[in-house]
Amino acid sequence: MDALARLKEKMMPFTKLIGVEYVSAAPDKVVARLAVRDELCTVPAVLHGGAIMAFADSLGGAATILNLAEGAWTTTIESKTNFLAPAPAGSVVTGECTPVHCGKRTMVWQTRITTAEGKLVALVTQTQMVV
């Protein structure tokens, strides 16, 4: 089974809840989309910062899972987000998650979240602990 099929089959319940749609997946890059629905927005109607962070955290977790040994699991131990531009309700954002460091005990991922026009909405760096 390829990496994308594995992620879709073992998708975390929360990612289903918020509407993450995986586009491609490999140990060195995970790409997904998220529709900016009203339920994920703040006032004015733009994607809530917490939804942005949850989206990025899901991608970093998924990328780590693709790099784990059999029987290992992961949890986020640190996450930092730079919010750079709004994503309006009705739009779709894309997250592209790539490795900064893949070690035995920790993995660090950077996720770029962009609009369909390529505008950078947020830059997220997170550390996943390997357990």
Q: What is the CATH number of domain 3-130?
A: 3.10.129.10
Question: What is the DSSP annotation of the chain?
Answer: --HHHHHHHT--HHHHHHT-EEEEEETTEEEEEEE--GGGEETTTEE-HHHHHHHHHHHHHHHHHTTPPTT--EEEEEEEEEE-S--BTT-EEEEEEEEEEE-SSEEEEEEEEEETT--EEEEEEEEEEE-
Q: What is the pLDDT of residue 43?
A: 94
Of 66, 62, 90, the C-alpha closest to 76 is 62
What are 1-43's pLDDT values in tens digits? 688 787 777 778 899 999 999 999 999 999 999 999 999 999 9
Give me the mean pLDDT over the 95-101 stretch.
98
- pLDDT for residue 88 is more than 90: yes
- pLDDT for residue 73 is more than 80: yes
CA within 13 Å, CB half, 55: 32
Give me the mean pLDDT over the 70-82 stretch.
95
- Considering only 5-14, 50-59, 61-70, 85-94, which range has the smallest mean pLDDT? 5-14
Q: What is the pLDDT of residue 10?
A: 73
Q: What is the pLDDT of residue 1?
A: 60
What are 32-59's pLDDT values in tens digits? 999 999 999 999 999 999 999 999 999 9
Residue 98 pLDDT level (bands cut at 50, 70, 90): very high
Rounded to whole angstroms, the Cα distance separating 45 from 7 reads 30
Rounded to whole angstroms, the Cα distance separating 8 from 131 reads 22
Burial of 18 (0-12, 13-18, 19+ CB in 10 A): middle
- What average pLDDT does the structure give for the chain? 95
